[in-house]
Every structure is written in C-alpha cells, then in structure tokens.
Amino acid sequence: MGERIQAVKGMNDVLPPDGARLERVVRTSRRMLEAYGYREVVTPAVEYTPLFVRAVGEVTDLVEKEMYTFPDRDGRSLSLRPEGTAGAIRAYVEHAVHKAEPVTKWYYAGPMFRHERQQRGRYRQFHQVGAEALGVAEPGIDAEMITMLVDLLATLSVPGTRARVSSLGCAGCRPAYRERLTGFLRPRAEALCEDCRRRIDRNPLRVLDCKKPGCAAARAGAPSTLDVLCPECRAHLDAVVGDLAALRVAHELDGTLVRGLDYYTRTTFEITGDAAELGAQNTLLGGGRYDALVEELGGPSVPAIGFAMGIERILLAMPADAPAPAADVFLVAIGEAARRWSIAQARVLRAAGLRVELDHRGGNPKRQIRRADSAGARFVVLVGDDELSAGTAALKDLRSGEQREIPQSALATELARLLSG
Ligand code: HAM
C-alpha cells in the first residue's frame, strides 16, 4: 500500500459545500467592487523576492520570517506573494498605466502565502480579495473605500463589525513620531523580545505590532501617531472622518492601530468582526494609503490607497447557510433504452440551465430514487419502456410526493417553471 501524503501544513483543502460559499463571497465582493468602478487585474502568484523586500519592508515579520522564498533554476530569488499590493503596483509601473489613465482602480482575488504559525483564521495559504485605487490624493476616496467595505460586510451578513481608522502621517511628520517612539521604547528595551530590541532603532513602528505578550505589556502607553501629525496630515484625517460621519458610517479613531506592512502613509484602517468562530484572528480586512510606494518601486509619484480582505475569515464569521443541493432534477431510467433516452434528455435539460443528475450505475429504480434524494434533487423524472413508447415521463415532486405523467416534449419548460416558482 502506498504511503499517504498529506497537504502542506497550514494549507487547506476547501471541500464542497464550502467551495460554493467561498465562491459566493468572491462573487459578492466582485459585484460590489465593480459597482464602485474597480476592474479586475490578475498578476502572478510568484515575483522576484526584492519586490516584496522593497514594498513591504525589510524589517517586517512578513519579509523577515514569513515568505516562501526559493531560488529559481537560474539562481534568481523568487517568493510566493505574501500579499497583493506589491505585484499590482509592479504591474502598474511596468506597463506605465499612469500614462494611459490618470486614475486607476484595480481589484484582485486569489491565494496569498505566508509562513505563519497556524491557528484558526491564520493559514499559510489563504485567499484575499483586495483593491488598489491610484491617482487620487484627496481624502474623499479614503472614506468611500471604508464605506464600501462596511457595506460589503453587511451584504455578506458578517456580524459585529467594527471599523477603526488612524493615520500614520507622511514623510514630513513620520520622523518626529519615530523619534518619540524610539525615546519611549529605549528605556523599556529590557522588557522587549530580541527582535523588538533590534527594531527600536531600525524600525520602531514594527515593535507596535509584535504579537508577544511581554512586548504588548511593555509598549502600553506608547505615544500615538495622532499626536504628532503635521497640519496637512491632520486635515486629511479630519476630512476622512468628516465624510464618514456625513455618510453615517460608524467608526472609531484609534491611534494604536498598527499595520504589519511598511508602505503605509496617512490613512490606515481595519475592520474586525465579533463572531466567536474567528477566535483570536478577528481582523477581517485592512488597508490604507501608500502615497510613496509607486515611486519607491520605480514609477512616477502617484498617490494610492487600497485594502485586502481575508476570505477564510469572512467564511468563519458568516452565518452558516443551508447547503445548496447538487442537483435540481434527477433522471431515473429503467432499462437500456430508457438509459439512452435519459442521457440525451439530461443534456437537453442542462442546456436549458437546469442542474441535472442521473446515476450511470443504473440498477433498481427505488435505489435510484434514494440517490436522487441524497443528491438533494427536488424532482425525479422516471422513464421505462412504457413511457418511452407513449412519449411521456413520470414527474415526481420529492418534497410533496406527488407524481404525474407529462409529455416528454414539455419536460424542460415544466421543470423550469416549477423550479423558478
Ligand atoms: P494585511 O493586513 O496583511 O494587508 O492582510 C489583509 C487581510 O488578509 C487580513 O485582514 C486578514 O483578513 C487576511 N490575512 C492576512 N494574513 C492571513 C493569514 N495568514 N491567514 C488568513 N488570512 C490572512 C495586506 O495584505 C495589504 N496588501 C492590504 C492593502 C492593499 N493595503 C493597501 N492595499
């Protein structure tokens, strides 16, 4: 007997009926994004490693510890994408999209890879739906994006959502904040983990998102970015908050909000959910502005904002729904001539848009009807030699148990009528 090979740790199979739920979340998100003028972009799942190092930041958990990095056959270092923004902006710059359009709104959906410690809601392969809006510096689009996401989560019936908004400042005011934070952290270095101690001088903001309990305790009372915003960044944030209030979108200003990626400037946001199924990983989506990234990746100076939502977390947070049946109609054939007729008839009904199953294994009609039942079919169409010569079929409603004869030529329209009613 062959040795059993299992899936890679932290990478999950999505079995039916969860595949359909996942697809439904993506479909609903697509519809919402398209209503807001976003169009789909598809970029590779693998990029040259320096792209992520430069975009996400060298001194981040994501780049230091979580990337799946390996040499290509020609020796160049490749990485599985840990997130979608870097690839999207690489494509935007590579194809000089800014020359063709002043404002670009892209969305994407697909798998991302992070070598994290796995737990509920945190996996090594997971799926995101994300979007990037380029070319708009004005705060109106920040508020619009947050509003769209609050509405999307409501459409998906995700309970207990909470939107938090902050600002990380810009190249002008960030240094002052960094200095304040470094000053706060230095006397507390002893209480921090080794990584955080190293980061005090290299990238103090990252100390704020260390997950170790000792570090969380030591950084209590750390200064907030909101206290050191320059007048322009303050005005930008006030405008975002003002728009959200005007749109009656509930949100909290939270200066302790930190994001795990280095490219953010000004507005950042996260939305959490309160479903018990989420466990400790209750952040459903996050994003923010990254006004300097396009230029850092070799493009022109183009302001931008984006978000990404974790599909697996949405699935955990969404209420369970009744599983959809695999078929609407089940064809039961008695005898070889009827079998031939039913495979042809199934093809006709399927072309008419019905979900149709039959049992190629044939056998006892009672057993075939039991299979129809377990496939979740509402109707059974029964045909034997008598029906074939009469040009009719027995149509049975499995829900009511009612059965009647109808002409074969009326089957498609009659079934479509019954199923739409
Ligand atoms: P992020 O906060 O790293 O942002 O990830 C966004 C979302 O992806 C999280 O809120 C979470 O729902 C989901 N997620 C992240 N890691 C995992 C994991 N290991 N397992 C399951 N779900 C996970 C970004 O990725 C940015 N690219 C968002 C962005 C776009 N910012 C600007 N544009």
Q: Is the pLDDT score of 278 beyond 80?
A: yes
Under the banding of pLDDT at 50, 70 and 90, the label for residue 14 is very high
Give mean pLDDT, residues 129-140.
98
Residues with CB under 6 A from ligand 1: 83-85, 114, 116, 121-123, 126, 128, 130, 132, 260-261, 283-288, 290, 306-310, 312-313
- Ligand 1 centre distance from Cα of residue 85 (Å): 10
Q: What is the pLDDT of residue 389?
A: 97
Kindly give the distance from the C-alpha atom of residue 381 to the centroid of ligand 1, in angstroms, as a whole number: 48
pLDDT of residue 421: 79
Dist. CA 373 → ligand 1 center (Å):
41
> What is the best residue among 60, 126, 294 to mutate for testing ligand 1's pocket, by most ligand atoms within 8 Å of CB?
126
What confidence score (pLDDT) does residue 325 get? 83
151-188: pLDDT as tens digits: 999 999 999 999 999 999 999 999 999 999 999 999 99
pLDDT in tens, 335-346: 999 999 999 999
Rounded mean pLDDT, 98-102: 98
- Amino acid 38: pLDDT: 98
373-405 residue pLDDT tens: 999 999 999 999 999 999 999 999 999 999 999
Q: Which two tokens stand for residue 154?
A: 């409501």
User: Is the per-residue pLDDT at 322 higher than 90?
Assistant: no
Give pLDDT tens digits for 24-67: 999 999 999 999 999 999 999 999 999 999 999 999 999 999 99
Mutate to test the pocket of ligand 1, among 104, 128, 270 (most ligand atoms within 8 A of CB): 128
**Residue pLDDT, tens place only, 341-380:** 999 999 999 999 999 999 999 999 999 999 999 999 999 9
Residue 140, pLDDT > 90, answer yes
pLDDT digits (tens, 9 = 90+) for 200-209: 999 999 999 8
Could you give the CA distance from residue 87 to residue 308 in angstroms, rounded to a whole number?
13
Give the per-residue pLDDT at 415. 97
pLDDT (mean) for 106-131: 97
Work out the average pLDDT over 270-296: 97
Burial of 278 (0-12, 13-18, 19+ CB in 10 A): buried
The predicted pLDDT at position 360 comes to 95
**Dist. CA 325 → ligand 1 center (Å):** 32
Q: What is the pLDDT of residue 323?
A: 73
The pLDDT of residue 9 is 97
Pocket mutation for ligand 1, best pick of 41, 283, 290, 314 (most atoms within 8 Å of C-beta): 283
Buried b vs exposed e over 96-115: b needs ≥16 C-beta within 10 Å?
A: ebbeeeeebbbbbbbebbbb
Residue in 62, 162, 285, 318 to alter for ligand 1 test, most ligand atoms within 8 A of Cβ: 285
> Tell me, what's the pLDDT at 245?
98
Output the pTM of the full model.
0.93
Please list, in sequence order, all residues whose beta carbon lies within 8 angstroms of the beta carbon of residue 252, skipping any fewer than 6 positions away. Answer: 162, 163, 164, 165
Q: Which atom of ligand 1 is nearest to the CA of 259?
A: 2
Task: Kindly give the number of the ligand 1 atom that is closest to the alpha carbon of 130.
Answer: 30
- CA-proximal residue: ligand 1, atom 20 (nearest): 122
Cβ-proximal residues to 268 (8 Å cutoff; 6+ apart), any chain: 165, 166, 167, 168, 257, 259, 286, 287, 288, 289
Mean pLDDT value across the chain: 96
pLDDT of residue 258: 85
Q: How far is CA 378 from CA 332, 345, 358, 397, 402, in A?
A: 13, 17, 13, 6, 11
Report pLDDT for 381. 98
pLDDT tens for each residue of 264-277: 999 999 999 999 99
3-state SS, one letter per residue, for 197-258: HHHHHHCHHHHHHCCCHHHHHHCCCCCCHHHHCCHHHHHHHHHHHHHHHHCCCCCEECCCCC
Which candidate, 286, 290, 260, places its Cα nearest to that of 92?
290
Q: Note the pLDDT of residue 108.
A: 98
Section 91-114 average pLDDT: 98
Confidence (pLDDT) at 1? 83
Confidence of residue 234 (pLDDT cuts 50, 70, 90): very high
Going by alpha carbons, the residue nearest to atom 21 of ligand 1 is 122
